[in-house]
Amino acid sequence: MQSGDPNRRAWTVLRASVLLALVAAGESSGQQPPAIPPGQEQAAAAAVRPAEPKFRILRAVSGSRGEQKEGRYILHDPRTVFHIPHDRQVIVYFEWQGPVGKHRFEGIWKNPEGKVAVISDFEYEAKQPHFAGYWTLLLSETTPTGLWTLEARIDGEYAGSHIFQIISSSEPPPIPDPQPQPLAPAEIYERLKDATLFIERFDADGNRVSTGSGFYLGESEVVTAFQVIDGAHRLRVVLPDGQSAEVQEILGWSRRQDWAVLKVPVKAPAILPQQEKPARRIGDFYYSLNAPTEGMRTIISGNLVGEQNHPTSGPQLNLTFAPTWQALGAPLVDEFGKVVGMLGGRLTPSTSGDLLGMGIRNAQPGIAPPLAVPIEVLPKSSAERKATTLQQMQANGQFIPLLRRTTHILSATLSRKLEKIGSFLHPIDTDTRFSRRLGSFHFQATIRPQEKVSGNQMAVLHFYDLDNNLVGKTKPTQLKLRKDKVTFVTWTINAAGLRPGIYRLDFLLDEQPLWRVYFELTN
């Protein structure tokens, strides 16, 4: 869910999940269910049975003192050991992700013998898929000591459990260290907005071809996804206050890991704190900034649902939300506003709606994959980095050349077969994944110039690996193009001549790349 009004967006996030207040005796606490808190720290002893449940537990935490604050429920002393007679109650708090609608919530308290002591239930209609609840167990001097379990059920389905210990002690429980409290989504939005900027990419003719995002690592260092700047002849950053500045120097980069650090001549208006020691868990809730339209920022949030570790590019985070291309390079933060990563991390660049071309199979123009680069991969701020100019990056072959804007090409495709229909060859079984055992596959482009073309043109295919190294090219074909006349050009590609892997194919006309596709070759 997104909104152009940041205040309305923040309010909607808080209101998106309802908090259930239940007591051990089965009576309602009488409190109005507060708005959903996006997080509580220390998910101690949360256990989820391995399955594909309808309701997925995000965290569980216990304590003896809590309060509703600004539409949130906060536990002040998160812990799992409780002392009789000093502690008067145990509060167990859960967060889930599940379908919206009316649900029945049950809290089943099991004593140290494993027997059901009390069952509390409640019904509520969840308006959004992220919701939370807490139950309270009242303690007395006769409460059995030992390990207790609270098992949560939603609509009769197991929805997680939490284990805690009750002991009898004349000593009061130790005072826990102060715990950082999660920030409200509205506050996270403001912090992200103040530290995140737009990065505009220009071609050799001065045309703006795409826009991405970035954020400050240091006073004059901005980190972004490498694919945001790839091929740029000029870069311009636009700050949250509308101030803009030209960027010509790069302080560091990694194509495989998809990050680049720019030297920006404008000091940072805000720098986000970073998570000191990555402590990710599947199900963690994160925030970032999306950019659905020109110059617009909306908060976007979701869960960490997986990690992948490529042997050459390192770790990448899998998220439940897919940002727009303009949001690539934006910071990914936890519920405390600390940077845990950066949106990006794709080995094959996302396709911007401003460019003519295609990405890997099933890519949606303008929509980036739900991936992020984790914080430990990103470089630390350093004033000692040696700068490299955009011109040097171009000259050294570090950049993938931008596609030339053209109206010549009607279509282009890769296929396993070509079938002659009438006097023309038509591609059959189109794809971007081929087996070397196939022997060969085919490329065909359909060209119809919409303006006058002088002389003959030379067409050729170039093949590159993911490090932008030229690994092969076809024999050039001379074309005689005429305005409004359809011309077909076809090549048969020897699959056995390339090793298994992912490649980039560029279609060039008079040495200018007009069309691009990534394809995978397997054994």
Q: Would you say residue 155 lies in a domain?
A: yes
pLDDT at 291: 92
pLDDT at 350: 47
Domain match, 220 and 122 both = no
How many independent structural domains does the chain possess?
Answer: 3
Distance CA 49, CA 51 (A): 6
Domain match, 358 and 388 both = yes
CATH code, domain carrying 221: 2.40.10.120
Domain match, 235 and 345 both = yes
Distance CA 476, CA 467 (A): 24
pLDDT at 421: 86
Looking at the DSSP assignment, which residues form a beta bridge with residue 243? Answer: none
Q: Would you say residue 404 lies in a domain?
A: no
Domain match, 157 and 278 both = no
Distance CA 114, CA 117 (A): 9
Supply the pTM of this predicted model. Answer: 0.73
pLDDT at 384: 64
Domain match, 52 and 107 both = yes
| Stretches in the chain below the pLDDT threshold 70 | 1-52, 70-72, 347, 349-367, 382-384
Mean pLDDT, rounded, of the chain: 83
Domain-terminating residue out of 145, 160, 177: 177
Q: Which residue range is the domain that position 366 belongs to?
A: 186-395
142-181, pLDDT tens digit by residue? 999 999 999 999 999 999 999 999 999 888 888 777 777 7
Domain match, 193 and 275 both = yes
Domain match, 148 and 243 both = no
431-449, pLDDT tens digit by residue? 999 999 989 999 999 999 9
pLDDT at 32: 34
Residues in the chain: 523
Tokens 């812990």 map to which residue?
79
Domain match, 416 and 284 both = no
Residue 90's H or E segment, with its range, is strand 89-97
pLDDT at 383: 61
CATH code, domain carrying 468: 2.60.40.10
Domain match, 102 and 250 both = no
